[in-house]
Amino acid sequence: MHESSLGKEVLRLVLARADEEGAARVCAVRGWIAETERLAPEAIAFHFEAHARGTKAEGARLDLALRWVEAECKTCRSHYRPEHHLLLCPACGSTEGTVLGETGLAVEAIEVE
């Protein structure tokens, strides 16, 4: 369950930020997640909400931009979207590929009370 660990990671960043800002409560979160796979936003939100229960971020609104990072085949140079981190060119079957762009996640802003 990859979305589960992403949801928890977003929460960890949000709570660290809330502590830094001395906030009592987080109402909204804005950020992005870029991955070499398709992500299910509702699954990320579900895990975020479940783990946020009883914390400062309970009930916070999530506004996450999800990006599916493409890869380029080193053999035939075609671009494709990897299936769950797996670099496998659908055009020629090569597993030699380069991920185009940055993966990872960030919390850009939080709205606090």
Residues that bind Zn ion (CB under 5 A): 2, 73, 75-76, 89, 91-92, 94
Rounded-to-integer distance, Cα 15 and Cα 84, Å: 28
State the nearest-atom distance from the C-beta of 56 to Zn ion, in Å: 27
| C-beta closer to Zn ion: residue 76 or 100 | 76
Contact present, 60 and 28 (Cβ < 8 Å) = yes
Reading phi first (left if > 0) and then psi (alpha if -120 to 50, else beta), residue 81 is in beta
Residues β-bridged to residue 33: 66, 105
| C-beta closer to Zn ion: residue 55 or 94 | 94
Q: Which residues are annotated as a binding site for Ni(2+)?
A: 2
| C-beta closer to Zn ion: residue 91 or 109 | 91
Contact present, 16 and 112 (Cβ < 8 Å) = no
Q: Which residues are annotated as a binding site for Zn(2+)?
A: 73, 76, 89, 92
State the nearest-atom distance from the C-beta of 78 to Zn ion, in Å: 5
State the nearest-atom distance from the C-beta of 20 to Zn ion, in Å: 29
Name residue 99's amino acid.
V
State the nearest-atom distance from the C-beta of 89 to Zn ion, in Å: 3
- The upper half-sphere exposure of residue 55, i.e. CA atoms within 13 Å in the direction of its Cβ, equals 19
Q: Which residues are annotated as a binding site?
A: 2, 73, 76, 89, 92
